[in-house]
Structure 1
């Protein structure tokens, strides 16, 4: 599949995966149940190295459980923006331990870049895109450097920018897999119930979508579940799934 299985001792700057590779996998696994697709992919992987990325948000336990049922040794990446709710950090530790993950990797913003671009630690209040670049996008890029594929928990129903979300896509030369792309809220809730998975502690307090503490507010009845994210800003994504959003470069 592309150059994903290239020789380790060769020098090759070509991307591991292309958009055509992702489209081929999309066609290959069309209509296959999520768990069966993941079992098939892990049994005969088209990648050389893969990581699972999780925010440990309100719906993260579903994907974490699905993957843990197959391979608990897969590197599990968490980006600690240093603006995370304490409840999220506690939930991360509880859930990773409960599911038996063996390789939890925590990445943080580069302190030198923070000193240059967010000296007051208030950039979120006037430039949320730039803050996300510094605290999420760049750390994830570092975290994914050794891998040519990664698994994301994105779902199409979560926002207007995700309506046509495929299961497989190319992302900066890597394969990005969205196993839950076609899952809706009812299916996620049912999975929680069947497998008795713990809920994020903030969900019951009115936070159906949990991000960084300064940029996450409670959602009122009838509002979109992501209405509490970056409330008051024309912003729907942190930048991890869309690339850097700020015109101000991340140094």
Structure 2
């Protein structure tokens, strides 16, 4: 049974039938990184989206602390690009309200994904799997629904930035998604942005902030696995605190850049 896919009016439906031929190779990722070396983020986005250099595109967004920047950048080029949001059933209410605020403000083509109800009933009947098996919880509520949704796209934008964590320090702008056997491209437009640039963009474009930032949450995921962070700590140190876990499984730690 497929995960429930809620489509906001005007959203693009992802096809069910896949082209078995690989979409992109490591060589393609290298070529794109070289092609846009020295180009601004805006220049890169305009070329990739308007010239369709990466095929059928989607944005994957958590509507977290810094999500508004990438969403604004992409929407300024083409607001019809689908924005995929995983409603895990464990988000802070503030995140859901912030999602709706940004979607309305930026005119986003929002696509809300939910986990498979039958799988949840079998593997997380109590809703407490996060407390003893966070990897398994992420697999059910994030990885599987997103993997199925992304099957109809050639490439996806992510909001990852090098300064967020050591596991993201050496990522390139373009890489092959190792979770996809058909060679989907993963694009990280903000990978070389620092905290000052992010803050400056918020101010320049008067973008609303996630309400939990002021409460000490610089990185925001599902509520049971997100803790407040002390000043000076790694922004993602509040994610899965107490566990040997740094990513939900959508982005795998240790992925090597193709440079």
- TM-score for the superposition, normalised by structure 2: 0.87
> Aligned pair 1:212/2:215, yes or no?
no
> Aligned pair 1:19/2:19, yes or no?
no
> Aligned pair 1:42/2:22, yes or no?
no
SS in 1 for 2:77: coil
> Aligned pair 1:170/2:176, yes or no?
yes
Cα distance in 1 for partners of 2:31, 2:242 equals 40
1:186-237 CA-to-partner distances (Å, cap 9, x unmatched) read 1100110111100000000110100000000111122211111100001110
Task: Look up the match of 2:202.
Answer: 192
Task: Look up the match of 2:246.
Answer: 236
> Aligned pair 1:77/2:84, yes or no?
yes
1:108-159 CA-to-partner distances (Å, cap 9, x unmatched) read 1111111111111111001111111111101111111211111111111111
Quote the offset at 1:11 in angstroms: 8.0
Cα distance in 1 for partners of 2:230, 2:82 equals 36
Task: Look up the match of 2:36.
Answer: 29
Flag structure 1 segments of 5+ consecutive residues without an equivalent.
Answer: 1-7, 244-251
Cα distance in 1 for partners of 2:173, 2:194 equals 14
Provide the aligned C-alpha RMSD in A.
1.5
Cα distance in 2 for partners of 1:129, 1:72 equals 33
Quote the offset at 1:47 in angstroms: 3.0
Task: Look up the match of 2:117.
Answer: 111
> Equivalent residues in 2 for 1:51-90 (5 A)?
51-90=58-97
Q: How many aligned positions are there?
A: 234
Quote the offset at 1:95 in angstroms: 0.5
- TM-score for the superposition, normalised by structure 1: 0.90
Cα distance in 1 for partners of 2:140, 2:102 equals 27
Cα distance in 2 for partners of 1:237, 1:71 equals 29
1:29-76 CA-to-partner distances (Å, cap 9, x unmatched) read 011000111111122112331111110000000000000110011111
1:160-191 CA-to-partner distances (Å, cap 9, x unmatched) read 11111100011121011100010111110011
> Aligned pair 1:225/2:235, yes or no?
yes
Cα distance in 2 for partners of 1:64, 1:217 equals 25
Quote the offset at 1:14 in angstroms: 2.0
Flag structure 2 segments of 5+ consecutive residues without an equivalent.
Answer: 1-14, 254-259
SS in 2 for 1:37: helix
SS in 2 for 1:169: strand
Task: Look up the match of 1:91.
Answer: 98
